[in-house]
Amino acid sequence: QVCSINSRFAKVHILYVGSTPLKSAFRGTIRCWRVPCHAVRLCLLSPVQVEVYKSFRPGDIVLAKVISLGDAQSNYLLSTAENELGVVVARSEAGVQMVPISWCEMQCPRTHTKDLREGARV
């Protein structure tokens, strides 16, 4: 679950490993160069640096892969650089669960507003 974001990374709490819930949350970081964009996925190029706020928002539930232990502040370094990884649950400002409409957008079914998110292809 995304806790906070800034221009370089998203801080997350790791709540599950696979389908197993953890007894306590672990901290992790998704850095901006580990976040793919739509063009990267289509061209099969390596991930490029993108703006984190276009991919995640606080409160989003994200499916990610642990890629390294990281440092003392982030604990685990995570990646969403695969098609099946990314935001799986997001809520709009109206509090409604959003639905994916493309690789990079989700829409509120109540207000029909669109937000940029990196949607997972589950």
Report field, pTM of the whole predicted structure over 0.85: no
Residue 42 has pLDDT above 60, yes or no: no
- Mean pLDDT, residues 36-57: 59
Please state the φ and ψ torsions of residue 65, each to the nearest 5 degrees. Answer: -115, 135
Q: Domain containing 24: what range? A: 2-85
Which helix (H) or strand (E) is 78 found in, with range?
strand 76-79
In a domain, 115, yes or no: no
Residue 118 has pLDDT above 70, yes or no: yes
In a domain, 22, yes or no: yes
In a domain, 94, yes or no: no
What total number of domains does the chain contain? 1
Amino acid 22: pLDDT = 92
In a domain, 113, yes or no: no
Neighbours of 66 (CB within 10 A): 15
In a domain, 58, yes or no: yes
Neighbours of 14 (CB within 10 A): 18
Report how far residue 116's alpha carbon sits from residue 68's, in angstroms, rounded to the nearest whole number: 27
In a domain, 35, yes or no: yes
Q: What is the CATH number of the domain that holds 81?
A: 2.40.50.140
In a domain, 92, yes or no: no
